Structure 1
Amino acid sequence: MTLSVSTGQAVDLRVQSVGEVLDRVERSLQVRLLPDTVVRKRRSVGAKTDRDTWVRVERRLLDKITDQGWNGTECAARLDGIIQPEWHGCVVWRDADGLVMWRADETELLPGTPVGTAVLSEAPELPNAWWEALNTSLDALAAQDTRRIATPDTVTITQALITESIRGVFSGDFDTTVERWVPAHADLNWANMTAPTFSLFDWEDWGNAPLGLDSASLWASSLAVPALADRVRHERRSDFESRDGKLMTLFVCSKILGPYAHPEDPRLKPAQRTAEQVIKELQAS
C-alpha cells in the first residue's frame, strides 16, 4: 500500500512512500531515476538519472511558498561567477488536496560528493583550492543583484525575525539593526557543498539576507570541530569582522542556544563563548 504524501500536514520523506511522486517526475521529465542512487531527506528526494543528470524533488506546503515563488534553483542559474551545477529544467505541480506543491529540478551531476552532513563531527580534508573556490563563489554571490528575499528553513528572513531571534536568547545593550543586505545562499552547510572539487548546490532558499549570514551559518555547522570553525572564520574574516557579520554570528548562535537546544550538542559551549565575546564587541562599537 502506498502512503499518501499529499496531506497538508508536515511529513518526513525519509519514511513516507514517494513511489507515485517519482513516477510522475519520470513521466514529466521523460527520464528514468536510478533506484540505487536515491537520497531521501526530510522534505526532498534526489536521484541520478539515466542521462547522467540529477533530479531533486521537493515537497512544500502552500503556506511556505512566498509571493516570490520557490524557484530558487532556476533563478540561481543566471548568477555569474559561482561554481554550481548547471540547471536543465523542471516540473512543478499542485497536489489534489490543494495544500501541497511539488517541484522537481534537473541539473548536471555534482563534480564530487557532499563534504558531509549539515553539522560535522570531524574535519574534512579540503585543499587550498577548495577554500579559494568557496571564497570566490561567496564573494561573487554577494555582488549580484536580486529582488529575491532569502528563506532559510523556508522562513523569510526579516529585520524583525533577526531581532526577535537574538533578543530571545541574549541580553545586552546593543543595536540589532542590519546595515547591509546582500544575496546569500541561505542554507550554507557541509551537506550542500562538494569535495574535493568545490560546487555549491541546493539553491531553493537563496535571496537577499544580512551580510555574513552564509559565513556564520557555515561556521555554526563547524563548531564541533574547533580547527574547522577557526578556518571558516579565517577564510571569511571580512564578514565576521563587520558589524552585520557579528549580528549574524549571534543569529546562528541563537538557534544553537535557544529553546530547542540539545543538552549534548558539542556546539553549545563554543557558541556561548563566541556570543559573549561578540556582544562585548557590539557594545563597544
Structure 2
Amino acid sequence: MTLSVTPGRAVDLRIDPVDEILARVERSFQVCFAPDTVVRKRRSVGARTDRDTWVRVERRSLDKISDQGRNGTECAERLENIARPAWRGCVVWGDSDECVMWRADETELLPADPVGTAVLSDDPKLPDAWWQVFNASLDALAAQDTRRLATPDTVSITQALVTETVRAAFLGDFDTTVGQWTPAHADLNWANMTAPTFCLFDWEDWGNAPRGLDSATLWGSSLAVPALADRVRQERRRDFESRDGKLMTLFTCSKIVGPGAHPQDPRLGPARRMAERIVAELQAG
C-alpha cells in the first residue's frame, strides 16, 4: 500500500491521509489502535494500542537513511540510566513508488503526556524533580559510547554542516571548529519529553554530535517563553559555557534567524540578541 499524495508536493502526515498506513501496521503487529490517541506530526504518526503499548510510524526518504546500521530507536535500547520507554519491536517496509522507507516501532507506553508542542508559547511550570531527572538523563547520555552520527532534522551533523549553517547566518572572524563530540538525542524539544514524570522519547536521530546540541536545541524551542529559556540555560549551564555549547547556540540561532526566518516568529528577537553576544564572545576568544 502507498500513501496517496499529489505528485511533486511535500508529504506532511499532519494533513495527508494515513488510514492505509495505520491499517497495515495494525495487521503487522496484530494490534488495534485507539482512534482518540492518534498523534500526527510532519513525518510521523503514533497511537496507543489495545495491548497498552505505543506505536510510532515514521516516513523517511531513502536519501535520508544513513548507512550507520540499525534504527535509532532500536539502538537506544542499550543506553543506560536514561528515562526512556523500552523498545518492543519493529516493522519496516519500502515504497519504491515514492522512494521512501516506512518504519513502525512499538514501545512501552509513556508515563505521562508530552510537555507540549515542539516550540512552547506558555511556561509548563515544571517542578524541580523533573529538572533533576532531565539533567541526569542528559548527563548519562553524554557519557555513553556510540559510533552513530546524530541526524537532527534527518540530516547527518558534520563539521561541514555546522560551518555552512553558521556562516550562512552570521559574519565574523571566529573559528567554527567543533572540539568535542558526545552522544545527543538530536531532537530534544518539548514534544519529545513527558511531564510531570520525565521521559525522553523519539530516539530515531540520536548519535554523536557537538557538545551542547541538545541543550541549545531545547533553549531554541523555549525562546517564546523567556523564563523557560533562562531555566534551560541555568540547568545546562556547563554546556552553554563551553566553547562548543556557544557554537551550538549559534547553530540553533541560525535556524531561527537565518535565510528561512519567519518574520512573525516570536523567537527572532531573543535569538538575534543571543547570536550577537555569542559572536562577540567567540571573536574575543
Please give the TM-score of this superposition, normalised by the length of structure 1.
Answer: 0.96
Structure 1's 135 and 185: CA in aligned 2 closer, same or farther, altered over 3 A?
same
1:282, CA displacement in angstroms?
1.1
Offset from partner CA, 1:24-52 (integer Å, 9 cap, x none): 11111111111121111111110000000
CA distance in 1, matches of 2:154, 2:212: 19
Offset from partner CA, 1:162-214 (integer Å, 9 cap, x none): 00111111111110000000000000011100000000001111000000000
Alignment of 1:58-73 (within 5 A): 58-69=58-69, 71-73=71-73
SS of the aligned residue for 1:102 comes to strand
SS of the aligned residue for 1:77 comes to helix
| 2:230 corresponds to 1:230 | yes
Which letter does structure 1 place at the counterpart of 2:99? Answer: L
CA distance in 1, matches of 2:275, 2:256: 11
1:10, CA displacement in angstroms?
3.0
Is the contact between residue 6 and residue 100 of structure 1 (CA under 8 Å) also seen in structure 2? no
Alignment of 1:1-285 (within 5 A): 4=4, 10-69=10-69, 71-97=71-97, 99-285=99-285
Percent identity of paired positions between Structure 1 and Structure 2: 76
CA distance in 2, matches of 1:77, 1:173: 42
User: Can you give the 5+ residue segments of structure 2 that lack an aligned partner in the other structure?
Assistant: none
Q: Give the total of aligned pairs.
A: 284
CA distance in 1, matches of 2:13, 2:229: 31
Offset from partner CA, 1:254-274 (integer Å, 9 cap, x none): 000011111111111111111
CA distance in 2, matches of 1:8, 1:43: 16
Is the contact between residue 3 and residue 21 of structure 2 (CA under 8 Å) also seen in structure 1? no
CA distance in 2, matches of 1:100, 1:68: 17
Q: Which moved more, 1:267-276 or 1:237-246?
A: 267-276
What RMSD in Å do the two structures reach over aligned CA positions?
Answer: 1.6
Structure 1's 30 and 8: CA in aligned 2 closer, same or farther, altered over 3 A?
farther
CA distance in 2, matches of 1:3, 1:139: 40
User: Can you give the 5+ residue segments of structure 1 that lack an aligned partner in the other structure?
Assistant: none
SS of the aligned residue for 2:60 comes to strand
Structure 1's 132 and 64: CA in aligned 2 closer, same or farther, altered over 3 A?
same
